[in-house]
Chains A and B, each alone.
Chain A
Amino acid sequence: RRCPRGLRLPRGGRAARAGVTAFPPCRYLLYASGDFVKVHSVNTEETLRLLCGHADLVTGIQLNPQNHMQLYSSSLDGTIKLWDFMDGIPIKTFTVGSRLLALYTLAGAEDSVFVVIPKKGERDTFQLVSVKLTKGAGQDLEGKELSVVLDGVGASTKQTAFGREGSYVVSVKDVNLQVYFFKRKLLNRFSLSTAKTKGDNRFSCVACHPTEDCIATGHADGKIRLWRNFHSKKAYTYSALHWHHDIVMDLAYSMEGTRLLSGGVESVLVQWHNESSCQKDFLPRLGSPIECISMSSDGALCCTLHTDNRITIINSNLRFSRSIQGLIKSRDVKTGLVVDPRTKALVLNGEPGHLQFYSLQSDQQLFSLDIVQRQYIHQAGLKQSDLVKVAFSARGTWLATVEESEEVTDPELQLKLWFYSEETQSFALNTRINTPHDNHITDMCFRDMDELGDDSLILVTTGRDCVFKVWVMVEDSDPEAHQSVSWSCDFVGSYHNYQATNCCFSEDGSLLAVSFEETVTVWDSLTWDLKCTFCHPPGNIRKICFGRLTCSKYLIGATDYGFLCCWNLLTCALEWSAHLNVVVLQPDPISEHIAAVSWLSKESSLFVFKPSEPRPIYIQRNLCKEKILLAAFVPRDEPEMISSEKYLWLRKSQLFFLTDTQELMTLSTKSLEERLTPSSKQLAVEESLPVTPFSVLLGKHRRQQAQEDIDLGKPVVHKQEQASPAVKELLHTPAHVLPSASFLCTIFINSLLISKENKSAEEVADEVEMESEKAEDESDEEDVTAMEQEDTSHMELLGEMTCKLSKSQEKELRKIRKMDYSWISAF
């Protein structure tokens, strides 16, 4: 049951392909993310379902053209799965055998789908095949009946497209375009000449016009070509549209084919009207390069998938609607994994120049803090400035950030200090220090002293200009200034003109350890005197950290030459050392454990140890194949019950890793199935529905009623909660599928009546008489709700259903007619 392996998290995975489903009111967005398919509500921005079952990356998802409540998905594990995505149940699994790289469905071909598979025996050659989906009774079926449609297609989903009503299929690869006409069984090949043009005119993507015989292709030089008349090999024509300055990443036609959307690295969505190059609209500054564009089936929405793992939903009038973002993938995580003490969120580089606060519990970005505050321009070869270091003070009230430009020599450096303001619930810039060091800043840390408060707050930065600097808060003497404190430099220390590489404060804040290349120096944080130095040649110091709690007398250091050393600060001697190529050294902030991740012979291993004893308490070899770059301990909200002795160190905090492919992983003591307990989330119908005038009216009435109750001082308990489903059903069901008003009247009125529980003893006698009615009412209610559920799925049956009124119901109606309706005039 226990899973000792490093687990790929369901969160933070790369979104592979997005698609807005064809559900009538455009309510769901389906996208593949890692091994999973996610069902997302467009209105509430919530993940409703997680379809898991594939064993490898999901490469393609398509709605079942016959039933829009079903979804086909293909994966690298060689299976095609058919899902009921509303309930999250896999219906069927077809095993194809070879790796599936893309998936297409056609409305015309009922029992077959098209997939791209690698050609047997040849590398980097792919073929488009149609898979016959056998109709069998069981869940697991074979899908071995393959017939090759096209040879030598591109591996990406974007490089193949099906034309008008599935009459032809187009595929592009390099400079070749091939069209296969299903009816005529004709294959036309066109290729662009590479000699004439200066730029790189290879194909990058293709899209087909939904109603006309027209193919749009995107090219690596930023051009879009529109091909027509491609039935004949000779008389074909093409025209070019050019706006993008770099590769066109994806193209999509609107449902009517009047608009063509294109996107690329400029992170601008371009909308071309009527295939003319003069009429175009832009949606600029989408944040990061567009990788994929998808239109919803009714054309009301469009969504773009970005390289930084984000989906943007855009209205048909090219207005930004909302975005779905998990862990934003940044170009390079330079800041490291930092835990925000306030929200327990993981903090790291997000969008260029931004700091993202990523909540691990909800797999959502909490917010993104703009640090650089400068317009980001996507252009190759431009020296961007980005965030490189982040540090939080112990209570999260202060945030220090360092940004620098990418220039190797003479970087433009800025140290910024942010204060968390309780009123605005966000960080506000307090101090900006230009060029705090003359060269790159290598490390930064706050003195974490919870008990002494903010007065003792000290920030230390180390730089390659061979000094470390101590920054302190100073009271602003100027009473008219906006802020009362600011930061300034207090002390500059250096050691033999070596580059300062790391810094670390001891737990009680009295000692500062700064590593200068091969040497670790220990300084008194009150007087800034050099206390002692440690050295373990050869090799520069890579990481240092102090022990905590019972092990606070130890200082741990990892060197370049693969040594992990532990020095005793009392005796100033080496306590122990171990031969280990440590990449990551991460102390747990709430226990004495220290995690070290090593990188040896292409695998990462994890060692957890206490500084007091050289034997590690936990070893996990071959944690994952990727190189682990960063790690962070995140404190748990409540200690987890862990029975195994081996995992006791995971009781209070959780360890997260970030690999060089920017995948976030954690060490879990539970198996995957346990963790992915189906979240009992309903497809929230009620919440997402719009407010109708009638519901407003009812709301008003209810409020008035409540007011009256309070005025009278009678603690009347309303049974609104019980009545509400019926009323809600009544209010939210579209008028044309409702039974006649007279039929519904009873339920409605009954739901408004004051319930019987509150009646006094004198009325008990009456109650008995009404008992039978009540029973009938309830049964009616059930009937109606059941009926309505049917109604939504089978609208055509409606007429018959409403006619069938039972005798008892007729009696009811008559009774209602006699009732007093004078209260209605209150409306």
Chain B
Amino acid sequence: MAAYKPVVVQACPKLGEKITQDTLYWRGYKTPVQIKEFGAVNKIDFSPVPPYNYAVTASSRIHIYGRYSQEPIKTFSRFWHAAYCATYRDDGRLLAAGSEEGKICLFDVSGKAPLRQFEGRTKPVHLVGFLSDKYRIFSGGDDYSSNLWDIPSATEIISYSEHTDYVRCGCASKVNADVFITGSYDHTVKLFDARTKSSVMTIEHGHPVESVLLFPSGGLLVSAGGRYVKVWDVLKGGQLLVSLKNHHKTVTCLCLNSSGQRLLSGSLDRHVKIYSTTSYKVVHSFNYATSILSLALSPEDETIVVGMTNGVLNVKHRKPEEKNENSQKKRQPAYRTYVKGRTYMPKQEDFCVSKPVKRVLRKYDKLLRSFQSSKALDAVLEPPIMLHTPEVTVAVMQELHRRGTLRSALAGRDEKQVNLLLTFVARRVIEPRFTPVLVTVADMITDIYQPVVGQSAIVDKQFLKLQQAIGKEIDYQEELLEVLGMMDTLFATFTKKRDACLEENKSNGVMELIETNRNY
């Protein structure tokens, strides 16, 4: 004898990305704030000191934004042409920027006019940065050279002309005040020591280098260029650790998060990918509207700022941490309630009498067990079930259909219930997993309520909605079939027809193929 078997609800695997700790962390940002700049945003740099203002270089201006301000709190616009690479010094008090005309300007963040101007270069300077001793600036430009400047005297200390193409990116070591690296369009990354006359290390990236980054420890170097992000071990003489190819267009910018655990890369393919720096796997990714040129992350990951080619600055702020007060108030029963009587070990001569396990049936199952079809359907038409677990509703409808009682369960409903039913059907009938059942249901509803059409405006409206949904779906399916047909044609042309050599041998009524490579 069998007990009642509950209705089997077809579980469907959840599609889409999996929820991991990273997903939750990176999803914890508010809706982005969009700020329109004058041109493509080529550099964003956060001030290393509170209140963590950030400098945005776009077109011929450098805007400084506060943490929550949507308007620039300060603007440097002393450039004739485009400005490049506005970068904060470590103490957040000085700002250096290169320019199209070849000048490098040094600003005090509180002042307006440049404190110093480093001149001598005629080609645009795309790269400017401070060495970690705070008194020297390195730069790189379109004249293929990398230079080192002294701030107090505003003079050039040394110039390296080792690159054979534009120098577009670079960074200074935080550990050693004399070391900086530059990346160039000649596919190389070079490491310079200010104490020597030439570069100390050259790394072949293989593509025009768009961005380089040194890990805080100074041991690892990340270079981005082409579709690749490559990680090199500097201490091992520039050995390639890992090569990441997750973007499908050129990677333009790199950034580390404040803890150094995650690496972010932005690309022209409109994605920002977040890698774990231990496994170098992509743990999360953001989508943006247009191609990304620059990217910056504030300390403590409070804000993500992304600059795009169309001049839009996208700012995302982190949501404040939610306090789970409710869950703390609800006191769980003590541990001993759970283990009460369960820890007793029966002795050998004890008779064990097991308590019959009480089977918990859902409401619709109880009703189905007693053959109350209409009530069972009512039970699964409750809004919570219908909205959140439509598969339960559909499973019960299918079970009723199997029992042959679906028609009677659907019949005899008032306006409100019919409205509810039709809303559900119109919304879900296009889902492939529900379609077979819901088409039957829609058919029956139309049959049953045909005589009363026109009596209620609400129901009529729902019928029209259903019609629309089905019409749309049919169009869609037709289109898909067309695409399928096209693809089949394409595949057919690529596949070699091997059946061509089929010969008929009519003497014994057996068709045979000439080639048999079987050996018994």
Q: Is the CB of A574 within 8 A of B510?
A: yes
Cβ–Cβ contact A287 & B520, under 8 A? no
A: contact size bracket: 35 or more
Q: Is the CB of B10 within 8 A of A532?
A: no
- Which of A497-505, A564-572, A720-728 lines the interface with chain B? A564-572
A536 touches B349 (CB 8 A): no
CB contacts (< 8 Å) of A572 on chain B: these are 510, 512-513, 516
Contacts A480-B18, A531-B516, A534-B511; A285 near B4 (Cβ below 8 A) = yes
Q: Is B403 touching A286 in the complex (CB atoms < 8 A)?
A: no
The digit string for A313-350, where 1 denotes a CB below 8 A from any CB of B, is 00000001001000000000000000000000000000
Assembled-state Cα–Cα distance A382/B499 (Å): 47
Interface residue B509 (Cβ < 8 Å from any Cβ of A): yes
**A534 lies within 8 A of B4 (CB):** no
Contacts of A373 in B (CB 8 A): 5, 8
**Which chain B residue shows the least CB distance to A382?**
B404
Give the residue name and chain of the B residue nearest to A511 (CB): B518
Q: How far is the CB of B346 from chain A (nearest CB, A)?
A: 15
The answer to the question of A312 belonging to the interface, with a C-beta cut-off of 8 Å to chain B, is yes
- CB distance A700 to B403 under 8 Å? no
Residues in A neighbouring B499, C-beta threshold 8 A: 530
Inter-chain contact B512/A532, CB cutoff 8 Å: yes
Knowing A552-B520, A696-B349, A700-B349 touch, does A285 contact B509 (C-beta < 8 A)? no
User: Is the Cβ of B509 less than 8 Å from the Cβ of A535?
Assistant: yes
B interface footprint on A214-237 (CB within 8 Å = 1, 0 otherwise)? 000000000000000000000000
> Which residue on chain B has the smallest CB distance to residue A553?
B520
Q: Is A381 touching B404 in the complex (CB atoms < 8 A)?
A: yes
**Does B197 make an interface contact (CB < 8 A)?**
no
Known A-B contacts A572-B516, A700-B349; the reply to A534 vs B510 at CB < 8 A is yes
Instruction: Assess whether A377 is in contact with B403, with CB atoms less than 8 Å apart.
Output: yes
B5 A375 Cβ-Cβ under 8 A = yes
Q: Is A537 part of the contact surface with B, judged by Cβ < 8 Å? A: yes
Q: Which of A480, A531, A574, A696 contacts B509 (CB 8 A)?
A: A574
Q: Which has the most chain A C-beta neighbours within 10 Å: B3, B4, B516?
A: B516
Q: How far is the CA of A140 from the CA of B88 in the complex (A)?
A: 120
What are the interface flags for A522-566 relative to B under an 8 Å C-beta threshold, 1 for contact and 0 otherwise?
000000011111111100000000000000110000000000000
- Scoring B436, B509, B518 by chain A CB atoms within 10 A of each residue's CB, the highest score goes to B518
Say yes or no for B508: interface residue by CB 8 A criterion. yes
Say yes or no for A510: interface residue by CB 8 A criterion.
Answer: yes
Is A682 an interface residue, CB under 8 A from the partner?
Answer: no
State whether the Cβ of A793 lies closer than 8 Å to any Cβ in chain B.
no
Cβ of A285 and Cβ of B518 under 8 Å apart? no
A573: interface (CB < 8 Å): yes
Does A379 interact with chain B (Cβ within 8 Å)? yes
Q: Pick the contact of A574 from B368, B436, B508, B516 — CB < 8 Å?
A: B508
- Mark interface residues in B80-107 (1 if CB within 8 Å of A CB, else 0): 0000000000000000000000000000
Inter-chain CA distance A242–B516, complex, in Å, is 72
Enumerate chain B residues within 8 angstroms of A530, measured Cβ to Cβ: 498-499, 513
Q: Which of B3, B349, B520 contacts A570 (CB 8 A)?
A: B520
- A379–B403 Cα distance when bound, in Å, is 9
Say yes or no: A569 contacts B520, CB within 8 Å.
Answer: yes
In whole Å, how far is B445's beta carbon from the nearest beta carbon of chain A? 20
A573 lies within 8 A of B512 (CB): yes
- Taking the closest CB of chain A, its distance from the CB of B498, in whole angstroms, is 7
Q: In the complex the two chains form, is A537's CB within 8 Å of B509's CB?
A: yes
Check if A680 is an interface residue, CB within 8 A of chain B. Answer: no
Chain B residues with CB under 8 Å of A320's CB are: 1
Contact between chains at B510 and A567 (CB < 8 Å): yes
**What CA separation (Å) do A596 and B120 show in the bound complex?**
100
Tell me, yes or no, whether A478 is within 8 Å of chain B by CB: yes
Instruction: From the candidates A379, A569, A700, name the one contacting B518 in the complex (CB within 8 A).
Output: A569
Asked if A434 is an interface residue, CB under 8 A from chain B, the answer is yes
Q: Which residues of B contact A383 (CB under 8 A)?
A: 402, 404
* A135 CB-CB contact with B under 8 Å: no
Q: Which residues of A contact B3 (CB under 8 A)?
A: 285
Tell me which residues from 402 to 428 in chain A have a Cβ below 8 Å from any Cβ of chain B: 405, 412
Cα A614 to Cα B403 in complex, Å, equals: 53
Given A287-B2, A374-B5: A478 touches B18 (CB 8 Å cut-off): yes
Size category of the B interface is: 20 to 34
Q: Is the Cβ of B513 less than 8 Å from the Cβ of A533?
A: yes
Tell me which residues from 393 to 450 in chain B have a Cβ below 8 Å from any Cβ of chain A.
Answer: 399, 402-404, 433, 436
- Rounded to whole angstroms, the CA-CA distance of A382 and B520 in the bound complex is 52
**Set B368, B498, B516: member contacting A532, Cβ < 8 A:** B516
The minimal Cβ–Cβ distance linking B507 to chain A, given in whole angstroms, is 9
Within the complex, the shortest CB–CB distance from A470 to chain B, in Å, comes to 18
CB pair A535 B510 closer than 8 Å: yes
Bound state CA distance, A534 and B7, in angstroms? 47
Bound-state Cα–Cα, A283 to B499, Å: 64
In Å, the complex CA distance between A373 and B2 comes to: 11
CA distance A533 to B504 in the complex (A): 10
Bits for B477-520, please: 1 = Cβ < 8 Å to A, else 0.
00000000000000000000011000000001111110010101
Kindly provide the distance from the CB of A575 to the nearest chain B CB, expressed in whole angstroms.
10
Instruction: Tell me the chain B residues, 312-356 only, with Cβ under 8 Å from chain A.
Output: 349
Given contacts A535-B509, A573-B510, whether A287 and B518 have CB atoms under 8 Å apart is: no
Compute how far the CA of A772 lies from the CA of B4 in the bound complex, rounded to whole angstroms. 69
A533 near B511 with CB under 8 A, answer yes
Contact A374:B8 (CB < 8 A) given known A285-B3, A552-B520 = yes
Q: Which residues of A contact B436 (CB under 8 A)?
A: 412
Task: Give the docked Cα–Cα distance between A533 and B516 (Å).
Answer: 12
For the complex, what is the distance from the CA of A283 to the CA of B5, rounded to whole Å? Answer: 16
B305 to chain A, nearest CB (A): 34
The interface residues of chain B lying within 8 Å CB-to-CB of A519 are 511
Of listed A285, A385, A536, residue having the most chain B CB within 10 A = A285
Decide: B10 and A434 in contact? CB cutoff 8 A. yes
A385 to B399, CA, bound (A): 12
Known A377-B403, A383-B402, A569-B518; judge A286-B511 contact (CB<8 A): no
A23 to chain B, nearest CB (A): 25
A382 touches B403 (CB 8 A): yes
Q: In the complex, what distance in Å separates the CA atom of A699 from the CA atom of B513? A: 78
CB of B100, distance to nearest CB on chain A (Å): 50
Q: Which residues of B contact A534 (CB under 8 A)?
A: 510-511
CB pair B1 A285 closer than 8 Å: yes
Would you give the shortest CB distance from A548 to chain B, in whole angstroms? Answer: 12
Chain A 282-322 near chain B by CB (<8 Å), digits 1 or 0:
01011100000000000000000000000010000000100
CB-defined contacts of B513 to chain A, threshold 8 Å: 530-533, 572
Name the CB-closest residue of A to B512.
A572
- A286 and B4 alpha carbons, distance in the complex (Å): 11
Residues of A within 8 A of B520 (CB): 552-553, 569-570
For B515, the closest partner residue in chain A by CB is: A531
B residues in contact with A370, CB < 8 Å: 5
CB of A536 within 8 A of CB of B404, answer no
Bound Cα distance from A533 to B433, whole angstroms: 38
| Cα–Cα distance between A478 and B402 once the two chains are bound (Å) | 35
| Contact between A529 and B404, CB atoms less than 8 A apart | no
- A405 surroundings in chain B (CB, below 8 A): 402
B contacts, CB < 8 Å to A: 1-5, 7-8, 10, 18, 349, 368-369, 399, 402-404, 433, 436, 498-499, 508-513, 516, 518, 520
Q: 5 extra interchain contacts, Cβ-Cβ under 8 A, other than A285-B3, A536-B510?
A: A375-B7, A382-B402, A383-B404, A537-B509, A572-B516
Residues of A at the B interface (CB closer than 8 Å) are 283, 285-287, 312, 320, 323, 370, 373-375, 377, 379, 381-383, 385, 405, 412, 434, 478, 480, 510-511, 519, 529-537, 552-553, 567, 569-570, 572-574, 696, 699-700
Query: Please, could you name 29 A-B residue pairs with CB atoms under 8 Å apart, sorted by A?
Result: A286-B1, A287-B1, A287-B2, A323-B1, A370-B5, A373-B5, A373-B8, A374-B402, A375-B369, A377-B403, A379-B403, A379-B404, A382-B403, A383-B404, A434-B10, A478-B18, A510-B518, A511-B518, A531-B513, A533-B513, A534-B511, A535-B509, A537-B509, A569-B518, A572-B512, A572-B516, A573-B512, A574-B508, A699-B349
Give 3 nearest A-B pairs by CB, closest first: A572-B512, A532-B513, A320-B1
